[in-house]
Amino acid sequence: MAFLRCSSGSGSDSSTSNQPSVEASSADQANTNKGIGEIKQVDLNNPLDKTLVANGLAIYDLKCSACHKLTDQRVVGPGFKGVTERRTPEWIMNMAMNADVMLEQDPTARELLKECLVRMPNQNLSKDDARSVLEFFYSNDGQAVGN
């Protein structure tokens, strides 16, 4: 799932780089872009729903972990750390459910594809699955999980 910027995981400080990142060149758009697909509005849980978080972890383990880490390290695809700070919840869910269309039509996803060079395969996630993954991503980014 190509949700973040691609990076080498070298740990170098990007503020000293002479090349603008995808993140910097499309930061304003990425912060408001809801993506392309059926998800138009997401009401977030605070605290997070522990059942959704657990389901999201199981889906990540099954369908995402071969290509993505939960850190900022890139494997085949980018790491997921901080994705909820860079992308809207709607964009994340639309990308999870609709990768082919997003990679063809969404400007942010297209920029990520140019940098990563690897298309995310369709994972056939349902709306409920995508919501669970979203909840898990918020947990991974440090948001509190309820009892």
Q: Is residue 11 domain-resident?
A: no
pTM for this predicted structure: 0.79
**CATH, residue 59:** 1.10.760.10
Q: Give the domain range for residue 87.
A: 29-140
Tell me the per-residue pLDDT of 11-56, one tens digit each, with 9 for 90 and over: 334 333 333 344 444 455 556 899 999 999 999 999 999 999 999 9
Which among 40, 47, 50, 58 is positioned nearest to 94, based on CA atoms? 40
Output the CA–CA distances (angstroms, integers) from residue 63 to 102, 120, 125, 132, 134, in the order listed: 18, 11, 9, 13, 14
Q: What is the pLDDT of residue 31?
A: 67
Evaluate whether residue 13 is within a structural domain: no
φ, ψ of residue 81 to 5 degrees: the values are: -60, 130
Number of domains in the chain: 1
Euclidean distance between CA atoms 133 and 106, whole angstroms:
20
